[in-house]
Amino acid sequence: MARKCEICGKSVVVGMQLSHSHIRTKRTWAPNLQRVKAIVNGSPRRIMVCTRCLRSGKVQRAI
């Protein structure tokens, strides 16, 4: 599965989770990716797109 938006390039971010007792553990934050059928170079194609790109209208969806 693709873990990167094909429009904006948003991908997984790595950081530290900090508990109440200040125990630090590594964790990842994944973007909200959706597999949509979109028009790419004039032809319909399935691509992985983050919801922010979908909402802002950067993707022209194919019907």
Which segments of the chain does DSSP mark as H helices, in order? 51-56
Q: pLDDT tens digits for 4-40?
A: 999 999 999 999 999 999 999 999 999 999 999 999 9
Ordered by where they begin, the domains of the chain are 1-63 (2.30.170.40)
Q: Is the pLDDT of residue 1 over 80?
A: no
Closest to 39 in 3D by CA, of 3, 2, 7? 7
Residue type, 59: V
Q: Does the pTM exceed 0.75? A: yes
Q: Collapse the DSSP code of 21 into the 3-class scheme (helix H, G, I; strand E, B; otherwise coil) and give the result.
A: coil
- Relative to beta strand 33-40, strand 24-29 is unpaired
Distance, in Å, from the CA atom of 10 to the CA atom of 1, rounded to the nearest integer, reads 14
